[in-house]
Amino acid sequence: MNYRDLLAQAAELDRQIVSARAVEAADAIAEIKAKIAEFGFTVEDVFSTKKARKQRERSGPTYRDPASGATWSGMGREPGWIKGKDRATFIAGDN
Protein backbone atom coordinates (compact mmCIF):
# COMPACT_ATOMS: atom_id res chain seq x y z
CA MET A 1 0.00 0.00 0.00
CA ASN A 2 1.24 3.42 -0.84
CA TYR A 3 0.57 6.83 0.59
CA ARG A 4 -2.33 7.66 -1.80
CA ASP A 5 -4.07 4.36 -1.07
CA LEU A 6 -3.82 5.06 2.66
CA LEU A 7 -5.22 8.58 2.18
CA ALA A 8 -8.14 7.15 0.21
CA GLN A 9 -8.72 4.59 2.96
CA ALA A 10 -8.61 7.34 5.60
CA ALA A 11 -11.14 9.41 3.64
CA GLU A 12 -13.48 6.40 3.38
CA LEU A 13 -13.12 5.75 7.12
CA ASP A 14 -13.90 9.42 7.83
CA ARG A 15 -17.11 9.12 5.77
CA GLN A 16 -18.06 5.93 7.64
CA ILE A 17 -17.38 7.61 10.97
CA VAL A 18 -19.59 10.58 10.08
CA SER A 19 -22.38 8.25 8.93
CA ALA A 20 -22.19 6.01 12.02
CA ARG A 21 -22.15 9.04 14.32
CA ALA A 22 -25.26 10.46 12.67
CA VAL A 23 -27.15 7.19 13.08
CA GLU A 24 -26.09 6.73 16.71
CA ALA A 25 -26.81 10.39 17.54
CA ALA A 26 -30.32 10.07 16.11
CA ASP A 27 -30.91 6.95 18.21
CA ALA A 28 -29.59 8.71 21.33
CA ILE A 29 -31.83 11.75 20.76
CA ALA A 30 -34.87 9.49 20.30
CA GLU A 31 -34.04 7.67 23.53
CA ILE A 32 -33.55 10.93 25.43
CA LYS A 33 -36.84 12.35 24.13
CA ALA A 34 -38.65 9.17 25.18
CA LYS A 35 -37.21 9.40 28.72
CA ILE A 36 -38.12 13.09 28.97
CA ALA A 37 -41.68 12.32 27.93
CA GLU A 38 -41.89 9.28 30.24
CA PHE A 39 -40.76 11.15 33.35
CA GLY A 40 -42.06 14.63 32.48
CA PHE A 41 -38.69 16.33 32.86
CA THR A 42 -38.49 20.10 32.29
CA VAL A 43 -35.69 22.10 30.70
CA GLU A 44 -34.54 23.10 34.21
CA ASP A 45 -34.46 19.45 35.31
CA VAL A 46 -32.25 18.47 32.40
CA PHE A 47 -30.03 21.52 31.94
CA SER A 48 -29.95 23.22 35.34
CA THR A 49 -26.48 24.34 36.38
CA LYS A 50 -27.57 25.28 39.89
CA LYS A 51 -26.70 22.82 42.59
CA ALA A 52 -29.56 22.01 44.90
CA ARG A 53 -28.71 23.13 48.38
CA LYS A 54 -29.63 20.82 51.15
CA GLN A 55 -31.78 22.61 53.69
CA ARG A 56 -30.91 22.06 57.31
CA GLU A 57 -33.81 21.21 59.52
CA ARG A 58 -34.15 23.84 62.19
CA SER A 59 -34.49 22.61 65.70
CA GLY A 60 -35.28 24.47 68.85
CA PRO A 61 -32.66 26.16 70.97
CA THR A 62 -29.98 23.94 72.43
CA TYR A 63 -29.28 26.03 75.53
CA ARG A 64 -31.60 28.16 77.65
CA ASP A 65 -30.77 30.52 80.51
CA PRO A 66 -33.24 29.68 83.29
CA ALA A 67 -32.89 33.15 84.82
CA SER A 68 -33.61 35.27 81.76
CA GLY A 69 -35.15 32.74 79.34
CA ALA A 70 -32.55 33.66 76.71
CA THR A 71 -31.59 30.89 74.31
CA TRP A 72 -28.55 29.94 72.27
CA SER A 73 -28.29 27.36 69.48
CA GLY A 74 -24.70 26.45 70.26
CA MET A 75 -23.55 28.11 67.03
CA GLY A 76 -21.50 31.28 66.93
CA ARG A 77 -20.21 33.23 69.90
CA GLU A 78 -21.09 32.13 73.40
CA PRO A 79 -23.48 34.52 75.11
CA GLY A 80 -22.32 36.03 78.38
CA TRP A 81 -24.79 34.04 80.49
CA ILE A 82 -23.16 30.71 79.51
CA LYS A 83 -19.54 31.75 79.02
CA GLY A 84 -17.17 29.80 81.24
CA LYS A 85 -19.98 27.73 82.82
CA ASP A 86 -20.94 24.07 82.50
CA ARG A 87 -23.20 23.88 79.44
CA ALA A 88 -24.94 20.74 80.72
CA THR A 89 -26.88 22.86 83.21
CA PHE A 90 -28.29 25.00 80.40
CA ILE A 91 -29.58 22.31 78.03
CA ALA A 92 -32.97 23.53 76.80
CA GLY A 93 -34.89 20.27 77.22
CA ASP A 94 -33.94 19.95 80.90
CA ASN A 95 -35.36 23.32 82.00
- HEC assignment per residue over the chain: CCHHHHHHHHHHHHHHHHHHHHHHHHHHHHHHHHHHHHHCCCHHHHHCCCCCCCCCCCCCCCEECCCCCCEECCCCCCCCCCCCCCHHHHEHHHC
Tell whether 39 and 12 lie within a shared domain: yes
The total of structural domains in the chain comes to: 2
Tell whether 8 and 29 lie within a shared domain: yes
Whole-structure pTM over 0.85, yes or no? no
Tell whether 43 and 8 lie within a shared domain: yes
Residues 30-75 have pLDDT tens digits of 999 999 999 999 988 888 777 767 777 777 778 998 889 899 888 8
Mean pLDDT of 68-92: 88
Tell whether 7 and 37 lie within a shared domain: yes
pLDDT for the residue numbered 4: 96
**What is the extent of the structural domain holding 78?**
55-95
| Domain finish residue from 47, 63, 83 | 47
